[in-house]
Structure 1
Amino acid sequence: MSKLLPLALIVCFIISCSSPKSTFDKGNYDKAFQQSISRLQKDPKDKKASAVVREAYHFAQEDHLLTIKQAKLSNDIYRWETVVREYQSLNNMVQLLRHCPAALKLITNFNDYTNEENEARISGAQVRYELGNRALAAGDRQAAKDAYYHFLAANDLSGGDFKDALKLAEDARWAATLKVVVEDIPVRSQKFSLSDAYFREQVGKYLGNLSNQRNAFVAFYPPEEFNKTGLKQPDQILQFAFDEYIVGNTFVKENNFEAKSDTVVVGKLEGKEIKGIVKAKVSIFRKEVSTSGMLNIRMIDPHNNQVINQDQIPGTFVWAYEWGSYRGDERALTKNQREICKRRELLPPPPQDLFLEFTKPIYDQLTNKLKRYYVN
């Protein structure tokens, strides 16, 4: 019983803290009104909620109207958006009131501010629209980004279809977009003729997805696709090149040892199992081929051929394969040793397959770098 008492006190404390009266006394009139409405919808005869709901509505309304008055008199360029939020809160209270018959009996004098909210929305949208046009006329990428968000805000504030805001938003997005030509990815290797087609395809898909992110403001083009845009010059050239890809020599390591186990049942005596030691001579062979190389990344300004950014991603991949044999009692081997001894020697994969595996960890590092540079 003594353990349950503190828990009961805690529950009572939480309930009392979240009551409409407690919320009202803290000056959170909107929340107190909402809590009162919620309780009256569940129990129209709730005396505590009835005692709070009228006062909460009155004080919340006065607060919002005062904020609206102060915003209209301020020099804040976004003051109409403050006005919209305050009228929105007032209208939300009215909507709650209309869906609570018990509260309607207590609050008979209330105002609907829908017209005022709509007028404030148009005023706010006009401000954003003008700011967008001003930013777009500045002629630089950062200002075009600002214009894009201003036009979207204008359209959202108005409820949609505000003048030609959506069209101008797309114009601003295009003006803010960094147009990047991605050149081919050569593979330099003295010994092998390798194709980077798979790596190039994966990078191309990633860059395409990156371009489609709304906050990216970047578009990537192969050279032939950029020529179709009608633009004279890209904003940037992105170059990749694999430097001297090397496939090392094949190494084979041999490990000879004796395996034994003393937990093997070797017989029975008078119905009881007899455990003994079993042994086997084991030979495990491990073949390894190590590959290494470097991906160079360069970002170039085509207007002056200056390198904007340069980076390198080193990479290695080790192909390994194990097989083996044994002489003696198989029960002496572990499960893994038995599996290895079932295998036979294999030739290493061809250089192209090794190169593909080598590029996989490089791809992960590359995409992280590109995202940080072009999006974050």
Structure 2
Amino acid sequence: MKPYLPKLLKPSFYSHSLPLFVALLLIISACSSGKKALQRGDYYDATLKAVERLRQSPNNKKARHTLGEAYYRAVEENLRTTRTLDTKINPLNWEKIAQSYGRINEMGNEIRRSPAALRIVKNPTSYLGEEIKAKEKAAEARYNEGVKAMALNTREDAKKAYYHFVKANEWVNGYKDVATQIPIAKDAATLKVLVQPIQVPNSFGLGRDFVQNQVMEYLNTNRRMNEFVTFYLSWQTPNYCCADQLLLMSFDEFTVGQVFQKEKTTTAIDSVRRSVRLDDGSSKTITDAVKADYTHHEQYVVSNGRLDVRIIDVKTNRILMQDKYPGEFVWRNEWGTYQGDKRALDEEQEKAIKVRPIAPPPPQDLFVELFRPIYDQLTGNMRRFYSRY
């Protein structure tokens, strides 16, 4: 007797059941009573989860018990933070105080939006005035730190100042003149790099401008680039005098449109059967020997080069980075010709003789194609180099 083997479920079962299973997990997670958060001492999170559970199930015993236990402990815990933090020694402690008052007010607002929760916590406390004052103090502390950092007059301190001013504006939107200070700090923190045009012969000017613009677009818009580095094109800003670095690019090896041709002739021989009609009216199959000289033509247009890239410190004239990026592009065209009986050609040869020779692309296009592999190397290295700034 063969052992019983259960039938495997069809793949369609899994494909239809998986989204349902995930949805159930999300529902179960959303319906948490907050008991686990209470057990690990996260009273704030336990309160919010219990209130959310009571909105969906007003008589849920676990949620009612959790809310009663967690809310008052959460309030006391956050009030303890506001009383114990020293804002004289560290004015930035106003941020933690504002966060604590904010949590108390958030819990109270959530409870007021739930009738079931209000039956457990009948009079949730409000510290709205205290939260507003703490936010003002937090913004003031950040603003003052930003002013101090800017006074140190270094790029790194300007970067710190920028973050301080941004944070001040987050605590109180439009605090003092922070909207003016943010761009000033950002400009002082930003490394300015002046980019010289890629040095190529004048006949490739259009192609050079195209690839140059592609590089500049990447450097100034790619999200993975350092936000505190800005690149300027020298011919677009000829009077720009405040550059910190120069980015120089030139080809020390450069060949575009070097043409190579290759031909190979072979003799194709085959036999072809055909039917002929005899004088007496009958037909007969005969075999003809056919022959053709087939020539396969190949034309290659090779373009290659090596881009030399240097980054120079303007003040010291020191070379900060130098590297070379090779690139190559080969344009190919293949076709066939023959002399003799076409029937001797094979399938590939018949396709080849239908192809006609075409003129290579213009040098501008070859230059752009040559630059593609160089572009990938260049932009990747620029991103890594400027990440340190």
2:314 alignment counterpart: 302
| Residues in 2 aligned to 1:38 and 1:338: alpha-carbon distance in whole angstroms | 75
1:268 alignment counterpart: none
| SS class of match (2:331) | strand
2:97 alignment counterpart: 83
Aligned residue among 316, 321, 343 for 1:328: 343
Say if 1:243 and 1:293, in contact at 8 Å, map to a contact too. yes
1:21-40 matches, cutoff 5 A: 21-40=35-54
Cα-to-partner distance string for 1:60-88 (whole Å, 9 max, x where unaligned): 22222223333337944531212222222
Residues 117-126 or 363-372, more deviating: 363-372
Question: Counterpart amino acid of 2:331?
Answer: W
Task: Note closer, same or farther for the CA distance 1:108–1:319 as it changes in structure 2 (3 Å cut).
Answer: same
2:157 alignment counterpart: 143
Cα-to-partner distance string for 1:202-242 (whole Å, 9 max, x where unaligned): 4335435644669522333333543445x4x4222211112
Task: Note closer, same or farther for the CA distance 1:355–1:227 as it changes in structure 2 (3 Å cut).
Answer: closer
2:380 alignment counterpart: 368
| Residues in 2 aligned to 1:339 and 1:183: alpha-carbon distance in whole angstroms | 49
Say if 1:151 and 1:168, in contact at 8 Å, map to a contact too. yes
| Residues in 2 aligned to 1:316 and 1:373: alpha-carbon distance in whole angstroms | 24
Aligned residue among 48, 59, 79 for 2:62: 48
Cα-to-partner distance string for 1:146-165 (whole Å, 9 max, x where unaligned): 1111111111112x111111
| Residues in 1 aligned to 2:168 and 2:182: alpha-carbon distance in whole angstroms | 10
2:137 alignment counterpart: 123
1:266 alignment counterpart: none
Q: What TM-score, normalized by structure 2, do the two folds share?
A: 0.76
1:332-351 matches, cutoff 5 A: 333=347, 339-351=351-363
Aligned residue among 242, 252, 265 for 2:262: 252
Aligned residue among 141, 164, 174 for 1:161: 174
Say if 1:246 and 1:293, in contact at 8 Å, map to a contact too. yes
| Residues in 1 aligned to 2:76 and 2:192: alpha-carbon distance in whole angstroms | 52
Task: Note closer, same or farther for the CA distance 1:143–1:23 as it changes in structure 2 (3 Å cut).
Answer: closer
Say if 1:182 and 1:237, in contact at 8 Å, map to a contact too. yes
Say if 1:185 and 1:196, in contact at 8 Å, map to a contact too. no
Bigger Rg, which one: 2
Does 2:220 align with 1:207?
Answer: no
Does 2:241 align with 1:235?
Answer: no
1:67-82 matches, cutoff 5 A: 67-72=81-86, 75-76=89-90, 78-82=92-96
Shift of residue 15, structure 1, vs aligned partner: 5.6
Cα-to-partner distance string for 1:260-291 (whole Å, 9 max, x where unaligned): 9xxxxxxxxxxxxxxxxxx9987543322222
1:313 alignment counterpart: 325
| SS class of match (1:288) | strand
Aligned residue among 274, 285, 290 for 2:302: 290
Aligned residue among 153, 165, 187 for 1:174: 187
Say if 1:30 and 1:60, in contact at 8 Å, map to a contact too. yes
| SS class of match (2:355) | coil
| Residues in 1 aligned to 2:170 and 2:387: alpha-carbon distance in whole angstroms | 24
Shift of residue 38, structure 1, vs aligned partner: 1.7
Say if 1:286 and 1:320, in contact at 8 Å, map to a contact too. yes
| Residues in 1 aligned to 2:199 and 2:38: alpha-carbon distance in whole angstroms | 70
| Residues in 1 aligned to 2:200 and 2:87: alpha-carbon distance in whole angstroms | 66
| Residues in 2 aligned to 1:320 and 1:226: alpha-carbon distance in whole angstroms | 41
Task: Note closer, same or farther for the CA distance 1:350–1:56 as it changes in structure 2 (3 Å cut).
Answer: same
| Residues in 2 aligned to 1:52 and 1:205: alpha-carbon distance in whole angstroms | 59
Say if 2:197 and 2:212, in contact at 8 Å, map to a contact too. no
| Residues in 1 aligned to 2:121 and 2:265: alpha-carbon distance in whole angstroms | 90
| Residues in 1 aligned to 2:91 and 2:214: alpha-carbon distance in whole angstroms | 42
Identity, in percent, stands at 35
Task: Note closer, same or farther for the CA distance 1:208–1:136 as it changes in structure 2 (3 Å cut).
Answer: farther
| Residues in 2 aligned to 1:133 and 1:352: alpha-carbon distance in whole angstroms | 52
Say if 2:226 and 2:383, in contact at 8 Å, map to a contact too. no
| Residues in 2 aligned to 1:280 and 1:24: alpha-carbon distance in whole angstroms | 92
| SS class of match (1:112) | coil
Provide the aligned C-alpha RMSD in A: 3.3
Task: Note closer, same or farther for the CA distance 1:338–1:109 as it changes in structure 2 (3 Å cut).
Answer: farther
Say if 1:199 and 1:359, in contact at 8 Å, map to a contact too. no
Say if 1:208 and 1:220, in contact at 8 Å, map to a contact too. no
1:51-66 matches, cutoff 5 A: 51-66=65-80
List gaps (5 residues or longer) in structure 2: 1-5, 9-23, 271-289
Residues 124-133 or 357-366, more deviating: 357-366
Task: Note closer, same or farther for the CA distance 1:284–1:95 as it changes in structure 2 (3 Å cut).
Answer: farther
List gaps (5 residues or longer) in structure 1: 4-10, 261-278
Q: What TM-score, normalized by structure 1, do the two folds share?
A: 0.78
